[in-house]
Structure 1
Amino acid sequence: MENKPIARKFRLLSQLMELHEENPFKTKSIANAAFKIDKLPFSVAGKTQEELEKVDGIGKSTAAKVIELLQTGTITELQELLAKTPEGIVEMMGIKGIGPKKIAIIWKDLGIENIGELYYACNENRLVEAKGFGFKTQEEIKKVIEFRMAGNGKFLYAQVDHEAHELLDEIRGIFPDALKHIAGEVRRRNDIISELVIVVGSIDQQIAFDALATSTLLNNVTLNGNHISGELNNGLLVDIICVQRSQYYKELFLNTGSEDHVEAVLKRITDELEAPESEEIIYEKANLQWMPPELREGTDFIDKAIHNQLPTLITLNDLKGALHNHSTWSDGVNTLEEMAVYCRDELKLEYLGISDHSKSAFYAKGLSIERVLQQHEEIDHLNKKLDGFHIFKGIESDILNDGSLDYPDEILARFDFIVASIHSNLKMTEEKATARLIKAVENPYTTILGHPTGRLLLSRKGYDIDYKKVIDACAANNVIIEINANPLRLDLDWRWHQYAISKGVMLSINPDAHRNSGLHDMTYGVIAARKGGLVKEHCLNALPLAEIKDLFEKKKGAVSA
């Protein structure tokens, strides 16, 4: 074993010792030994224990650990500390800018156990409030995590949307008269993107290559036939396809839909597909209704297109309000009034549903019963003050380990609506997670089931659930399911929207905003909803104020009846 991997083992040992508040003198000694071993001009592997003991900065105890490592491949003390440290916490040790003391706060005070949860907490602005952190530190940690996420070649749609359109604008400048469009995963609005494809109706690829070779947006530009390849500054791979204008719409079609979607459509075309003048003509030749790009994922909507029964997909303009939001009462950045005014004046919405964290979410300043009552007094005051706008009293009630909701029934009864969500004890079997969710759904006070799987895209898989059982329980108990619009969540997954709709379950596109800017995440929620084929009639917050008031009142009335 070389000196560097040995030094890394000792560095990790010293970090874990500091994390678990071991003897500070001993911890510092191990840290110094790690530094010394890394810089030694000779290999420690060739030395005896007696020789190592004489090396300045190592000593008898550390020398014994070096020999143990060389002979067994590990250090007993290191293994003992690893055994009582979550794997995600160990992974955090590699993040630049946070040492063991800060990681201890993240883990023990904020209840965060992996990098995905840490990234989400940065987006929620939760680190700013923690001891020893500030906005600058939080942003630096966020950037490091984003860089790590990019290392696997996959990106959230929200991370690439802006850059993709910037590059398209640059291509417009090169070919102002040519047809050009984003295709592939970005055009289908996939939640995870691995490549940006752009189709250009021009065979002057050499001109495009020469211009893009000096682009500040595109790196490592190469020309291969009619393909110009490169990568964006964030590392996303790019493929620009240049074709004759007559072949443009055929190429756009072929490069937009998933492979099985394209194959299913082409199988229905009997004559030659030569030079279609639009994508609509391609679908017409296949005796299909034209399909929006979001629905060109697989073959699920082909049958509806055959019978001209594709849904009229929901749009951002269809939304009348924003439910599931957090203010300064818990871990939000903006006050209740600031969020309400922003929704009314900037977003032109009719209502805001505030749902700060419940009392068990101590890490997010969850509301005690006393603070719930105080917040309700403020909401009553604001509803009298704000003209043409309404704030609904909500809460994001933690689903406790046994499936019950935070707060006793007499407090739950005071809310207009309740978002029930799991935030703790995420390591569950599918059976346990399903039973826990169903019990929460069967609680008569539950209005909305929040982010049902707890996933964080590219960061945390989330717990497995029996989707059909959970959705069926929502149908039986008149519970709405959330489409959490945070681009890291997008949960309920779009692949289950049609099943929910078929069971008569309404969905709600909720921003889970922790600041005013987070309200704009509803854009990504709408994108996910469109992929799932959602129409406004099945979306809770597409209801106008009078109708959603009536729905909430009927739900509460059913409980007291």
Structure 2
Amino acid sequence: MENKTIARTLRLLSQLMELHNENPFKIKSVANAAFKVDKLPFAIKDKSLDEIGKIDGLGKSISAKVWELLETGSMVELDTILAQTPEGIVEMLNIKGIGPKKIVVIWKDLGIENLGELYYACNENRLIEAKGFGLKTQEEIKKIIEFKMAAQGKFLYAQTEGPVNKLYADLAVWLNTISGNPLLSIGGDYRRCLEIIEEIELIIGVDSLEELQTKIIDFKSITFEPQTENSYLAHSESGLKIKLQVVAKSDFYLSWFKLTGNEKHVNEVLALAGSGPFNSEHEIYQKAGLAFIEPELREGLNEIDLAKENKLPQLITYGDLKGSLHNHSTWSDGVHTLEEMAVFCKENLQLEYLGMCDHSKSAFYANGLNEQRIYAQHQEIDALNAKLSPFRIFKGIESDILYDGSLDYSDDILKTFDFVVASVHSILRMDEEKATSRIITAIENPYTTILGHPTGRLLLSRKGYPIDYKKVIDACAANNVVIEINANPLRLDLDWRWHRYALEKGVLLSINPDAHRKEGFHDMHYGVLIGRKGGLTPKQCLNSYSLSEITALFESRIKNI
């Protein structure tokens, strides 16, 4: 075992001891020993136990640990303390700029136990007010975690959108140097708007393959390396894999179609349409006897049967949204004031209403509202509604679903809200039976209007708690509860694969940004994309309702309780 490995192990032990508030003198001794071992001019593995004990800075106790490590490959003390520490907390020790003292705050005060939860907390601006942190530290942590996520070769759709749009624009400009008006498009998972992207697939149609092969070295934005005669590979600065396929212009639309849909969809359509050539994707579907199927739906589910019967859904668009529900302000853990959030919705986004849903009192880590602060917030909302009319702020709350499935306030408080978003935020380690039972209990509460982020997942970092989707959706249908599509790119929860079942059961979905700052409203864009994948139409989306329609819906629910 090399000195650096031994030093690294001792350093980890000292950090974990500090996390668990052990004797400061002992912690300092282990940390100093790690430093000494790292700087030794000889290999410690070649020394006897007695010789190791004589090394300056080690002493009898630490030399015994080093010997144990050399002999067995581990240390009992380290193994014991590791067993008491969540794996994600240990991983945080590798983040530059946050040592054990800050991690204790993250773990013990904020209840965060892994990098995914930490990244989400950064997005929600939750670290700024924590002891020893600030905006600069929060942003640095966020960048480091993003780098780690990119190293896995997987990216959130939202992380790829900006770079892909720029690359597409650069290619479009460069293609003006190629004769014959080349065609350019994006296919693959990105075009189908999947939530996780591993590679970007581009396609170019040209009159002369040889001309493009000769000139592609002149493209400066990114370096494309040839893989086969007509395919190229590149990587963005963040490590995103980019594939480029070059085809004859006459083959472009067929190739683009093949590059977009999943294998089942492509094979079934082409079995009906034949082999071409085709002058557009619309022509492919036309020759197959099918209505045109939007790229988001090309997943090999039931879209072809629907297209045969001309029963494809009229998919929702961003322009269909009339308001934004489930948002946070400085009343809890938001960045902007209630008025700033409302004015942004009214003037910048041209929306008709805002649903303000700050955290409930059990979310102490997010400055959740107690009963007195709820009353004060409602007074501010009344004043702002008078000022901003006809724009309206609805009085909402994101109520924690407690472990037994109850909501966070008494009925006397719950009835003061226009609507209630019920969400699980704590005690996430549950089996399917417990998670399902807990959520259904909340759904059956007459004050629950919307079920928030149903599984609590954080993409690329934390699996959601397991639920019986059918039972949960059926309960929402039976109790007239809306299900949220949390539009935060880290969540996109409810998963699009269950949208169809919910819609078939008559359950409304709501595209909620869960915005904690003004810029967060723009996440509704990603909620729309994932809603389209699930077949969502404007009529089945709660926040596509006009102000008068949603007001009537909220009022009718309250009257029926």
- The TM-score, its normalising length taken from structure 2, stands at 0.97
Summarize deviations over 1:422-447 as a string: whole Å, max 9, x none.
Answer: 00111110111000100000011000
Match of 2:6 in 1: 6
Distance 1:126 1:222 in 2: 46
Distance 1:172 1:547, change over 3 A: same
Cα deviation, residue 261, structure 1: 1.2
Alignment gaps of 5+ in structure 2: none
Cα deviation, residue 207, structure 1: 5.3
Match of 2:231 in 1: 227
Match of 2:397 in 1: 395
Within 5 Å, give how 1:255-294 maps onto structure 2.
255-269=259-273, 272-294=274-296
Cα deviation, residue 71, structure 1: 2.4
Alpha carbons 2:209, 2:248 under 8 Å: kept: no
1:91 partner amino acid: E
2:317 is the counterpart of 1:315: yes
Match of 1:71 in 2: 71
Summarize deviations over 1:382-414 as a string: whole Å, max 9, x none.
Answer: 111113200000000000111111011110111
- Secondary structure in 2 matching 1:22: coil
Alpha carbons 1:209, 1:221 under 8 Å: kept: no
Give 1:540's match in structure 2, choosing from 522, 535, 542: 542
Match of 2:468 in 1: 466
Moved more, 288-297 or 39-48: 39-48
What is the total number of aligned residue pairs between the two structures? 557
Moved more, 69-78 or 441-450: 69-78
- Secondary structure in 1 matching 2:277: coil
Distance 1:505 1:436 in 2: 19
Within 5 Å, give how 1:40-55 maps onto structure 2.
40-55=40-55
Cα deviation, residue 343, structure 1: 0.2
Alpha carbons 1:295, 1:533 under 8 Å: kept: yes
2:530 is the counterpart of 1:502: no
- Secondary structure in 2 matching 1:15: helix
Give 1:301's match in structure 2, choosing from 281, 294, 303: 303
Distance 2:395 2:315 in 1: 29
Runs of 4+ with deviation above 4 angstroms = 203-216
Give 2:410's match in structure 1, choosing from 408, 414, 417: 408
Match of 1:114 in 2: 114
Give 1:338's match in structure 2, choosing from 324, 337, 340: 340
Distance 1:6 1:504 in 2: 61
Moved more, 489-498 or 210-219: 210-219
Distance 2:512 2:495 in 1: 13
- Secondary structure in 2 matching 1:255: helix
Q: CA-atom RMSD, angstroms? A: 1.4
Match of 2:204 in 1: 200
Distance 1:96 1:204 in 2: 51
Distance 2:540 2:203 in 1: 35
Alpha carbons 2:182, 2:207 under 8 Å: kept: no
Distance 1:214 1:374, change over 3 A: farther
2:41 is the counterpart of 1:37: no
Alpha carbons 2:10, 2:31 under 8 Å: kept: yes
Summarize deviations over 1:198-241 as a string: whole Å, max 9, x none.
Answer: 11111555655666546564246335311121011111111111
Give 1:421's match in structure 2, choosing from 423, 429, 453: 423
Distance 1:142 1:366 in 2: 24
2:62 is the counterpart of 1:62: yes
Distance 2:423 2:218 in 1: 49
- Secondary structure in 1 matching 2:128: helix
Distance 1:104 1:203, change over 3 A: farther
Within 5 Å, give how 1:32-181 maps onto structure 2.
32-176=32-176, 177-181=181-185
2:443 partner amino acid: V
Give 1:383's match in structure 2, choosing from 385, 406, 426: 385
Distance 1:74 1:164 in 2: 46
Distance 1:180 1:214 in 2: 17
2:28 partner amino acid: K
Distance 1:345 1:207 in 2: 50
Cα deviation, residue 78, structure 1: 1.3
Distance 1:28 1:203 in 2: 70
Summarize deviations over 1:129-173 as a string: whole Å, max 9, x none.
Answer: 111111111111111101110111110110011111111111111
Distance 1:214 1:50 in 2: 65
Cα deviation, residue 41, structure 1: 2.2
Alpha carbons 1:217, 1:233 under 8 Å: kept: no
Distance 1:406 1:453 in 2: 19
- The TM-score, its normalising length taken from structure 1, stands at 0.97
Distance 1:404 1:206 in 2: 68
Alpha carbons 1:205, 1:228 under 8 Å: kept: no
1:27 partner amino acid: I
Alignment gaps of 5+ in structure 1: none
Alpha carbons 1:219, 1:233 under 8 Å: kept: no
Distance 1:206 1:30 in 2: 65
Identical columns (%): 61
